A and B are shown apart, each in its own frame.
Chain A
């Protein structure tokens, strides 16, 4: 279909700090004991996209990610990993790999999404309107822990009231305005000409940019070349394209070719009539109306695809989101996890050992080779592989990654225990994050702390 897929997998993201480490870049953070990247890859694979470029920030991260992909996806996907310098932003990353992009359109997917929205829909909308950029918007996810979890984590990462503010035309096809909700303090500027041309703009704050974009390659590359200051796709490139959609200077030549159709520019009378028939056949978008009103103006289209509300979409971009994703994948969105659930709505690997009187509740997951001592209680939690958990341990709403050791009598609530971490006896953690390899001393009571080595 002449689409190239670029996955922006990020590097060691700073807002996930105790969770990511030298060993585990963001893309490999486990969600239900699978790296988050695998959800993206599965989604793409199920859509028959098998030729992927994964862009990772930093060489170390690239090596890690590349190593994992090659072990997991060999024979299934054709993946190429590109390492780019850190902190150059999404636009910078694309600039770095620009010379590898050859297809007509580029599908850019963030590497940290867990979703079941088919990316084909974005691509199809993109093609249908012959747009310069198509953005997928989805409903804001419900953040925060589930009701049973109490108020844990709420004080930690409070979501802003609205993430993005988007302006749509009355048919909900075109993007007229986009801004980050947090950036808007008091007032904002809306392009008047766009508003006049579209007639009506619907401003919505309940939709969120999902970081799945389809770009026309030539336009994207042109913008990246012309505006070296642009760092981020979302904050620079996209608003720029939206802003200039009625006075397009970047893509004018492309549009020309597109409109004259089929590349043949022998200005025959027939060709003119032909394109006229075709354009008359369809309901003109406001772009065309505007264009015809003012001669010699070029426009380009910025489209949106609004995902169905029943679809699941979560981005793993904060610690809270990490908890949410783990909860959802084991709970409501369990079809994404690819596991088959037992009758108790949980997954206990056959090789896991459970002590006597230990209960594993619904929406739980117990990885391969993990041992759980006597009289433990595990609720709504994900426990990784080869964990050793002592007796009388209570784990609620938490994520325990591989090879963690938890001593007797510990109580863990709403926390993340990274791999190889160790909790000594009777430690009580609530809304804490424990870095990989960290040792929490015995008997301590902690609330809302982050354990990390300096």
Chain B
């Protein structure tokens, strides 16, 4: 780790830093090198700080400052962890249970059958005995259209917790047992020793160039989690979300102080120990793609097609998962739902279902318990697909509302209040916002315009349809890109309404731009420096348009604004299925890249988003009016608070 990062920061300024660095960064990193030996020893205590905060990591693409209720955020995690460890013993217990069953202890031989050797069963069970049950059966028989009754023959009398955990969830029981016992035994000194050992092992593994054997690293990592736990609350305090890729693990005391104020660093997927840890928590089994582009190693990329079958297979085992959330997650994972607004709405609707079916467990507080529930759902959704910024904002809103619920409210009132809050968020912030945007944007469309749009942005589609309804005469150029070809769907819908369209791919953009009079774009998010984070290719379209002096109008609902600052599309992005770009749909004969997926000399890169600098955006049309990109921070500052309060 050191060997790679430090030279970058100091020696070679040309290499772009991955992530964001505050102004103090260069200084601290230069001092770091000098103080390396000291910091190494000092860092023995610091890793706990950096290795914790799984919640922060799991909310990866969006940095959601933790809700004000600190404890509510930390408790669920601890609960979850406790739940996971407690699951160990029952599962092994049930296994042994099942094991001794075939040995014949419980299976009755035919002789025993007739005798009915069951003791524990209750009254309805008894009726199924050959002797007694006859008359009830006979009654069922007598009716010609047989409406048969049910006979309960086997009842579970186990404590519910045990029964739930007895399922075959892939709990790596051995490891957990190990780590648990380790935790119990170790003293502070020993723990330190363990950490040193880990570090040494990691360094050795790095040196080897090969991977850390998963077993050992997992167990090591798991110990470090346990050890790190006590320090957790301290980092939950921060409210500012400034930087993303803060370097972890090393640094003297000054850096440690700074770290306290820094937000949770986003999960860096090139950090092996963390990845291993995250994997243990994961609901969805994730096989990391081996062949990744160096520059994007910090982003999650999984073997495509491995997640979905696994998640499907576990359908009934995800007991705490609400069906609605599960369905949404499945749809994210399979790509059935895509697009910022749709994903956000689907998630919020699932949360509405969750709230509808929610009942506070005994001896628990609704505010806290529900926050923890939502958090666990969110982390599940993240495993299915990284969150968009708009979803992050929506989650922040939901959590905020839950936290702000007056304690005096009864459960049903609280649930009703939350449901209507979410309803209002969808109606006001998403749909209402779109309406306002349409109203504003339509004024910009004149007769004879040639409008260009890229991909399939919802807001732009609504604008075009509305303008068409107003009998404006314009033409639309739909620019599309592989591999998703979302533009085709938009095209289909526009043509159905009778709008004259031209369809082209992005590689013809410079040719087609001559005739365009206005460019309408959508966005996944607008950051507070005016950078537009959107479907990959948007930046290209915007830049070509500005080179041709064509105005670029960006339509984005204000709930997608975020206070983060981002200069490039490297530090925060999403990687799609790498195989998608090597295949051409409907052309089986184009298979030149078949079988090269695991070639070490070839890495596929399928980026999902890019960042468009604000210079290329003429105007942002949002629900607060038409503003220049420089006004985004104002909206974030002035309205985001209010938007959280609603």
A→B interface (CB under 8 Å): 1-3, 23-24, 33-35, 38, 42, 45-50, 53-55, 59, 62-64, 66-85, 88, 96-97, 99-100, 118-121, 123-125, 127-128, 261-262, 270, 273-274, 277-278, 280-284, 292, 305, 308, 337-340, 349, 367-368, 385-386, 402-403, 419
Contacts and interface: CB of A to CB of B under 8 A. Distances in A.
B104 interface: yes
A79 B316 contact: no
A214 B594 CA distance: 36
B314 A70 contact: no
A82 B336 contact: no
Contacts of B138: 59
Given A71-B108, A75-B157, A278-B346, A338 B99 contact: yes
Highest count of chain B CB atoms <10 Å: which of A47, A127, A270, A277: A277
12 contacts: A55-B148, A63-B130, A67-B128, A70-B118, A71-B118, A74-B155, A85-B141, A127-B315, A270-B427, A277-B342, A278-B337, A402-B110
Interface string B320-339: 00010011001100111111
Nearest to A120: B315
B341 A68 contact: no
Contact of B116 (A33, A71, A261): A71
A121 B312 contact: yes
B121 to A, nearest CB: 5
A308 B102 contact: no
Contacts of A99: 147
Interface in B422-441: 426-427, 430-432, 434
A76 B94 CA distance: 9
A47 B315 CA distance: 8
Nearest to A48: B167
Given A70-B128, A281-B337, A338-B101, A121 B315 contact: yes
Interface of B: 97-99, 101-104, 106-110, 112-114, 116-118, 120-121, 125, 128-130, 133-134, 137-138, 140-141, 145-158, 163-164, 167-168, 309, 311-317, 319, 323, 326-327, 330-331, 334-339, 341-343, 345-346, 349, 352, 426-427, 430-432, 434, 456, 458, 461-462, 489, 493, 496
Cβ-closest 3 pairs across A and B:
A120-B315, A281-B342, A124-B312
A403 B110 contact: yes
Contacts, number: 250
Given A72-B101, A75-B155, A128-B330, 6 more contacts: A1-B323, A47-B168, A69-B154, A70-B154, A84-B146, A118-B315
B99 A123 contact: no
Tell which of A70, A84, A88 has the most Cβ of chain B within 10 Å. Answer: A70
A120 B34 CA distance: 57
A400 to B, nearest CB: 14
Nearest to A273: B431
A425 B432 CA distance: 89
Contacts of A62: 128, 137, 151
B148 A82 contact: yes
B104 to A, nearest CB: 5
A338 B98 contact: yes
A73 B560 CA distance: 53
A63 B118 contact: no
A35 B316 CA distance: 24
Contacts of A76: 97, 154, 156, 158
B493 A78 contact: no
A23 B110 contact: yes
Contacts of B316: 1, 3, 47-49, 118-120, 123
